Amino acid sequence: MAKLYTFGRSGVLPEERKELTENKKIEKLEAKDFVFISINQHIGAPAKSVVKEGDKVLKNQIVASGEGGVTSVVHSPVSGEVVQIKSMVFPGEIKNDVVVIKNDFKYEKVSGTEEKRDFKKDKERFINEVKNGGIIGMGGAGFPTYVKMTPPKDKIIDLFIVNAAECEPYLTNDYRVMVEFGNEFLSGISLILDNLEIPKAIVGIEENKEEAFEKLQKVNSDKRIEFKLLKTKYPQGAEKQLIYALTKRVVPIRKLPFEVGVIVQNVSTVKAIYDLITFNKPLTERVLTCSGKGINEPKNILAPVGVTVSQIADFCGGIKDECKYLINGGPMMGKPFTDINLPITKTTSGLLFLTDEEVNIEEENPCIRCGRCLAVCPMGLNPTYLKEASDRREYEKMDDVLDCIECGSCSFICPASRDLARSIVKGKQKYTKYLKRGK
Amino acid sequence: MKENIVQVIKLFLVAVVSAFLLSYVHSITKEPIEKAKNAEITEAIKSVIPNISDQMIIKDTFLVSDVESIPLKAYIIQNNDSTVYAYSVLSYTKKGYGGTITMMIGVDKEFKITGIYPLEFSETPGLGTKMTKNKFKDQFLSKSLSNFKFKVDKDGGDIQAITSATITSRAVGECIERGLKVLEYNFKIGETDSSKTVEVKDE
Amino acid sequence: MNNVFKKLFNGIWTNNPVLVLLLGFCPTLAVSTTVNNAVGMAFAATFVLVSSNIVISSIRKFVPNKMRIPVFIIVIATFVTIVDLVLYGYLPKLHKSLGVFIPLIVVNCIVLGRAEAFASKNNVFDSFLDGLGMGLGFLLTIVVLATIREVIGNGTFFGKNLFGLSYSPAIVAILPPGAFLTIGLLLGGMNFINIKNKEREKMRKKLEKESLKTQKEVK
Amino acid sequence: MLKLLIIAIDSMLISNIVLMRFLGICPYIGVSKKQETAAGMGFAVIFVMVMATLISYLLQIYVLNPLKLEYLQTIVFIFVIAALVQIVEITMKKIAPTLFDALGIYLPLITTNCTILGVAILNIQKNYNLIETIVFSLSTGIGYFIAIYLFAGIREKLDWADVPEPFKGPAIGIITAGLMSLAFFGFTGLVKM
Amino acid sequence: MQENRFVIKNAPFLRGKEDIKSIMWTVVVALLPATLWSIYLYRYRALTVILSCIIFTELFEMIFLKVRGVKNVFEKAYDGSAFITGLLLALNLPSTSPWWMCAVGSFVAMLFGKHIYGGLGNNPFNPALVARVFLLLSFPSIMTRWTVGINLTSQTFATPLGMLKTQGLSSVSNLDYLKLFFGFPIEGVGGGSIGEISEFAILIGGILLILRRIIPFIVPLLYISTVFVFTWIFNLIDPIKYASPFFHMVTGGLFLGAFFMATDMVTMPITKKGKIVFAFGCGLITSLIRLFGAYPEGVSFAILIMEALSPTIEKFTKNKKFGE
Ligand SMILES: Cc1cc2nc3c(=O)[nH]c(=O)nc-3n(C[C@H](O)[C@H](O)[C@H](O)COP(=O)(O)O)c2cc1C
Ligand SMILES: Cc1cc2nc3c(=O)[nH]c(=O)nc-3n(C[C@H](O)[C@H](O)[C@H](O)COP(=O)(O)O)c2cc1C
Ligand SMILES: Cc1cc2nc3c(=O)[nH]c(=O)nc-3n(C[C@H](O)[C@H](O)[C@H](O)COP(=O)(O)O)c2cc1C
Ligand SMILES: Cc1cc2nc3c(=O)[nH]c(=O)nc-3n(C[C@H](O)[C@H](O)[C@H](O)CO)c2cc1C
Ligand code: SF4
Ligand code: SF4
Ligand code: SF4
Ligand code: SF4
Ligand code: FES
């Protein structure tokens, strides 16, 4: 058996529950009458819409773009007419403007897009394409990819890591992409290595996706790409933990991966870059997993960004009566929401429809100081302490909240069912505000 | 400056008044205090030696214990015709459960115990402190070095140990034995050399 | 007369030096092993408190502000020494069991605290009352504490056996932990009563307001 | 030498000044909300206690006893302590300003802290010689430090505990002191005085 | 279409299976071997002590929960934590304890040990140990009345540690360590507290807890080995005066304390390094008390003293953050 890489003794082992969708082929979903394009799908400086009500738009036309260092553009997945620009509340209580486009079903494209093209190795142009193609991290965070690709001059990137851990339970979208689009995925890696002049890539895949691991290794011909099998453990896919697991390099506290010469990208991001560079196809659709016992037919879906949750639910055979929870993302880090008229975004890796049987969150009890949360925290924090400090706004004791990666391992393990991660995440917001106020 | 001087003078005045007051009180209480200082010892002696009358004289003296060469204080109780009525000794042991135990031991002219009185000790309340109870103390009455083995029953002696306070009982035995030995050594006629007496003070 | 009782009550209950002002814990805890000692200590402290309050308030105008504290200390220490000498001379047993806590009345925060906070600003009679009230408050607390400790820890009250021989007292009550735990409970009880009183007060005010309102409305 | 060790262990742990001898309870309760302040108070007490005990010892031996003025002990000692604290404050400010910054605020509190006077008097009662006096006062001070520092640690933790309303603050503090005292009984007899 | 059929709860939506109840009742199960063995040895005496401690503890638990205004008192009272406290208190008492002493102990455990601090998880000291030491200081003669197992006379004897302390090493030199370890009664030797008789039975329960990852193995291991090393050092220095380390292993409450009481997570430092310091400190103080102290046994005191140190230790043994 191959060596299994992992990041130390912390972390947790939730039930995987991937069997619901892991053998389901990716099915393509077409947009219906309306699509809803959120103009802020990334993190960083907000974008502004560049269209008005009544404007005609083509498929792949830019509808929103931002200025400043860290931002991104958004394209339309259909052609049609802008009927409204309205504000919507997304999971996590984030308010965003949404461009509502009436689909004319003609799919008129912006000229030159979605046509195969020859791309000569050119670092600057490559990064520019990535920027204009609206590529952002599809692993969850939505960090604009071109920014990752332009580290400070004095940092030399010598390793590209593909995050294929997919450690969240239920989710199988990355796995399906690797199985069904293996060649495209690998070419994507090669393209990135060529253009960014990186000598080596490692693809880290969790043990529970061994099939993808074997298959990719077989078809791969690029010597620069290495595959490593990771232990199935949450949060194996968290950036710093993944880097450590694969390379034993430790990203210093509050620093980014380029500090240790690494860029990390998610599988779907790599695939999106491949599509963009070889076919001039901006990011307007993504593969996501729709799963849980609360939906009739769990599926992996290739869906245009902007279709509504209710459309996806219908596509999957409808929501069952016993469905109680609706989650955007995986069950460990995903956000709960109630509004099925919300659209999916570039970062929606999963939509979960869960029942009471699957979710066992009990009432909060007092901490019995068992220390389990400390033991599992991949960042080495003291979650119970941070929760108390956060809840009480004792700012001078809260500094560590900034290091929390919000993985939820602490809440998962806590025998007293304490919502540690939630309090700490809130504490992070409070503390950030407090720091700003201080300055 | 002037203000300062006035202040200091005022403080001084208060101090003077206080000093006068105190020396006055001191002069009144001087005598009772001197008496009180000895009261404890006198009381202890009275409680270990029966029927002391006011005419009797209590002489105290330091005796060298032959065990550890720490001087013990002994008291000779004389009738008013200067004949010996009884002896008592302030003995100690360091082997108590809570450290040192000091006790007054009274004997008659035949060196038989007439009473014991624990003065200072830090035994456990409820266990070791049972040594102050008559039930325990009375077993020593009219015992002497020749007719009693001052060891607890467990160690083959004659002392009925207090239940669960063997250590205390053992220590009490040692303490009494030391006191008796010193007394006999110093005062038993024929065996003693009175030059051993270090210091004699009259009451 | 009413005023006098109010002043005394202030020291005994409302501003009880130990349980409310949190002063003078050390003698309270240390000498409350028996009710006898407790009463002795309380009287000694009350004597010092009352006499120093009287003296200090009568010389308060004479004493320059800067020299205030040293003068107070001399006055208090004088009375403490008097108590010390008198007890030694006439009640040697009590003197022995109170031990170092008699001279420590000098630094007992109750005495110095009252001299500074009250007697240096008020007339002789009020200062006398204040000293007496505080002294009684101290007496009450220490006697209650000592009663609990002596009864539980020794099965006696004022040295008299209460329960007969088959009772085995919980000795810990007269050991140091017992002192801390008991006064902790007393403190908690005092707080509890005060909290309840405050709540009741609030309720009453609310009700009064409401009834006023309704009266007005009726009119 | 052995006697010095015995004095040290006894006065630090077994007859701990706060938990067993009941001296200095008020500052123990009052200045123990944070561990840093408790440490500051602890150091200040150690410092003043050694100085004060030493000076009052010398006064007793060389002034009060020869003049037969023992009955002025209380009044003399308290004045010495008050003056000493003043002098320490002034000289420390000049000579060691950093130390003053750390301990300065605690010094005035100490004048009226009964540990200092108490230990000075106890020291005379125990008939210690000069070296024993130093060891006794130093280790008693350290005992004070240990007690207040550990106690402050527990109290900081109790800030977040769900203590019933009437017991919040000093009440739970003093009960905790009781339980610490209970625990410290384990040291009984480690050395015998 | 019903809009609000979805419930908002916070991520993570999956939670571990273990909860307070399952942890606590596992500890109870782990205590069963020692409990059953003691009931076999001391028959109805052990049974009455155990039952009265548990019943009174649960009773006071419910009363204080009610007084504190906690909702669903019944459910909270049976989360197992009070049950453990009651059981451990019983296991720490002599088999001859009268029922009213069990009641006093339970009261102290629940009031001063637990609820005055706000109940489960808030207490700085181990409730069962607080109660035991309280009783030891209060009723020293009852608390030192040890009988020999099986033989149900009321004749009392000193425990091996008591014999060592009061009669010296020679009195215990020919005891059979293996018998002591398995907890078989020895004529003329007091068995000790109900639960501490058989180190073997405790070890079985302890290993169960370690395997179930409820207690960190390092704490009992380090605790016991520290005692071993210290007593060994003194045994090497003066074998006439100090007993062999093996003697110290098989006597007294060392195993019970190390596996079940020092490991009370509520009162132990929460950090891993802190637990190591804690266990070492417990071992050190236990050895000191056993070798030099007035009490024959030092486990309860040692654990309580280290619990007083626990918050301070915690402060000085922070975890290293990843990347720091
Ligand atoms: C707890 C946690 C778990 C994560 N797990 C994964 C994962 O399994 N796969 C993944 O691609 N990204 C995961 N991420 C996101 C990565 O940290 C990182 O942002 C991402 O791999 C970067 O790739 P992207 O920019 O292409 O999204 C995780 C993040 C966190 C905080
Ligand atoms: C809390 C406690 C206090 C004790 N106090 C005393 C005491 O004051 N005197 C004493 O001799 N033994 C004391 N002991 C020691 C034991 O009672 C010891 O077993 C006893 O001295 C041995 O006597 P035994 O052989 O009659 O059982 C104490 C023990 C404990 C646990
Ligand atoms: C809660 C409770 C606490 C008690 N505490 C004591 C006690 O501390 N000491 C005691 O001797 N009896 C105590 N008793 C009384 C005993 O039940 C018993 O009546 C008494 O000890 C008589 O003992 P005997 O049977 O040895 O004569 C207590 C009773 C109860 C219900
Ligand atoms: C491993 C473990 C050990 C425990 N040990 C004790 C103990 O020694 N004493 C006790 O009163 N409770 C013990 N408990 C129960 C519980 O933690 C205790 O009641 C809390 O201290 C009350 O807040 C233990 C629980 C666990 C899980
Ligand atoms: S979002 Fe979840 S599943 Fe996706 S990569 Fe991160 S941890 Fe893994
Ligand atoms: S504290 Fe943050 S990083 Fe640590 S386990 Fe909890 S959520 Fe994850
Ligand atoms: S896991 Fe829960 S109970 Fe355990 S220490 Fe953390 S918060 Fe407390
Ligand atoms: S002066 Fe000292 S003893 Fe008095 S209240 Fe202040 S801290 Fe307490
Ligand atoms: S410190 Fe307040 S009386 Fe001692």
The DSSP line for E21-82 is HHHHHHHHHHHHHHHHHHHHHHHHHHHHHHHHHHHHHHHHHHHHHHHTT-SSHHHHHTSSHH
Please say whether the beta carbons of C180 and D174 come within 8 A. yes
Domain boundaries defined on chain D:
31-151
CA angle B196, B200, B202 (to 5 degrees): 160
pLDDT tens digits, residue range C197-210?
999 999 999 888 88
Average pLDDT over residues D67-80: 87
Those residues whose C-beta lies under 8 Å from the C-beta of residue A266, and which sit 6 or more positions away, are A137, A138, A139, A140, A162, A163, A164, A174
Q: How many Å apart are CA C157 and CA C166, to the nearest integer?
A: 17
Residues of B in contact with E140 (CB under 8 A): 124, 126-127, 164
pLDDT of the residue at D112 = 64
Tokens of E243: 């007993």
Strand ordering across the sheet containing A48-49: A48-49, A62-65, A74-75
Q: How many Å apart are CA E291 and CA E229, to the nearest integer?
A: 13
Q: Which amino acid is at D169?
A: G
In 3-state terms chain B splits into helix, strand, coil percentages (rounded to 5) of: 45, 25, 30
Average pLDDT over residues C46-67: 86
Answer whether residue D179 shows pLDDT above 90.
Answer: yes
> Considering only CA atoms, which of C190, A328, A230 is closest in space to residue E6?
A328
pLDDT of the residue at C213 = 80
Ligand 3 centroid, distance to C151 Cα (angstroms): 14
Return the residue whose CA atom lies nearest to atom 10 of ligand 1: A139
> Considering only CA atoms, which of E55, E66, E61 is closest in space to residue E77?
E61
pLDDT of the residue at B197 = 41
Q: What CA–CA distances, in Å, run from A379 to A251, A376, A394, A405?
A: 11, 9, 21, 8
Q: How many Å apart are CA D182 and CA E131, to the nearest integer?
A: 10
Residues of D in contact with C177 (CB under 8 A): 178-179, 181-182, 185
Whether B38 has its CB under 8 Å from any CB of chain E: the answer is no
Q: How many Å apart are CA E174 and CA E171, to the nearest integer?
A: 8
pLDDT of the residue at C4 = 82
Average pLDDT over residues E243-256: 93
Answer whether residue B70 shows pLDDT above 60.
Answer: yes
Q: Which of E137, E139, E141 to mutate to test the interface with B (most CBs of B within 10 A)?
A: E141
Neighbours of chain C (3+ CB pairs under 8 A): B, D, E
Please say whether the beta carbons of A189 and A166 come within 8 A. no
pLDDT greater at residue E147 or residue C195: C195
Q: How many Å apart are CA A191 and CA D62, to the nearest integer?
A: 94
Ligand 3 centroid, distance to E192 Cα (angstroms): 23
Count other C-beta atoms under 10 Å from residue B203's C-beta: 9
pLDDT tens digits, residue range A375-401?
999 999 999 999 999 999 999 999 999
pLDDT greater at residue A431 or residue B4: A431
pLDDT of the residue at C219 = 65
CATH class of segment(s) A4-16+118-279 = alpha beta
> Considering only CA atoms, which of A110, A107, A63, A60 is closest in space to residue A83?
A63
Return the residue whose CA atom lies nearest to atom 2 of ligand 5: A168
3 state SS of A28 = strand
Tokens of A197: 């002049």
pLDDT of the residue at A10 = 92
Closest partner residue to C74 (CB to CB) among B8, B18, B33 is B18
Q: Which amino acid is at A337?
A: F
* Mean pLDDT (chain C, rounded): 87
Half-sphere exposure of E247 (CA within 13 A, CB side): 27
Domain of C17 in residue numbering reads as: 2-218
Ligand 7 centroid, distance to A380 Cα (angstroms): 14
H helix or E strand, kind and range, residue A75: strand A74-75
For ligand 2, say whether the CB of E133 is within 6 Å of any of its atoms: no
Ligand 7 atom, smallest distance to A410 CA: 1
pLDDT tens digits, residue range E190-244?
888 999 989 999 999 999 999 999 999 999 999 999 999 999 999 999 998 899 9
Give the mutation target among E100, E107, E136, E142 for probing the ligand 3 site: most ligand atoms within 8 A of CB: E100
Closest partner residue to B163 (CB to CB) among E141, E167, E294 is E141
pLDDT of the residue at A69 = 76
Ligand 4 centroid, distance to E126 Cα (angstroms): 7
Average pLDDT over residues E64-69: 93
Answer whether residue B191 shows pLDDT above 60.
Answer: no
| Phi and psi torsions of A419, nearest 5° | -85, 70
Q: How many Å apart are CA B157 and CA E247, to the nearest integer?
A: 29
Q: Residues with beta carbon inside 6 Å of ligand 7?
A: A 367-373, 383-384, 413-416, 418, 420
D162 and E288: CB-CB below 8 Å?
A: no
Average pLDDT over residues B61-88: 80
Return the residue whose CA atom lies nearest to atom 8 of ligand 7: A367
Whether C58 has its CB under 8 Å from any CB of chain B: the answer is no
pLDDT of the residue at B202 = 33
**What is the percent of chain E where pLDDT is above 90?**
69
Tokens of D133: 């006096």
Please tell me the pTM assigned to this model: 0.90
Domain boundaries defined on chain A:
4-16+118-279, 372-436
Nearest chain C residue to E130, by CA:
C177
pLDDT of the residue at A2 = 64
Confidence of residue C196 (pLDDT cuts 50, 70, 90): very high
pLDDT tens digits, residue range C141-188?
999 999 999 999 988 888 888 887 778 889 899 999 999 999 999 999
Give the mutation target among A12, A363, A372, A387 for probing the ligand 7 site: most ligand atoms within 8 A of CB: A372
> Considering only CA atoms, which of B106, B132, B137, B108 is closest in space to residue B119?
B132
Assembly ipTM: 0.87
The nearest CA of chain D is from the CA of C180 a distance in Å of 5
Nearest chain E residue to C153, by CA:
E138
Whether residue A235 has a cis bond before it, omega within 30° of 0: yes
3 state SS of D35 = helix
D192 and B18: CB-CB below 8 Å?
A: no
Closest partner residue to E294 (CB to CB) among D158, D178, D188 is D188
Ligand 6 centroid, distance to A329 Cα (angstroms): 17
Residues of D in contact with B98 (CB under 8 A): 188-189, 192
The nearest CA of chain B is from the CA of E139 a distance in Å of 8
> Considering only CA atoms, which of E111, E206, E76, D158 is closest in space to residue A416?
E76
Q: Within chain A, which residues score under 70 in pLDDT?
A: 1-2, 439
pLDDT of the residue at B195 = 41
Q: Kind of pairing, strands A159-164 and A262-266? A: parallel
Q: Which amino acid is at D18?
A: V
Answer whether residue E279 shows pLDDT above 90.
Answer: yes
Average pLDDT over residues E44-62: 96
3 state SS of C52 = helix
Ligand 2 atom, smallest distance to B169 CA: 11
Count other C-beta atoms under 10 Å from residue A117's C-beta: 10
Q: Let me know if chains B and C touch, i.e. at least 3 Cβ pairs under 8 angstroms.
A: yes
Annotated binding site of A for [4Fe-4S] cluster: 367, 370, 373, 377, 404, 407, 410, 414
Total domains in the fold of chain C? 1
Answer whether residue B196 shows pLDDT above 50.
Answer: no
Please say whether the beta carbons of E294 and D189 come within 8 A. yes
pLDDT of the residue at E164 = 86
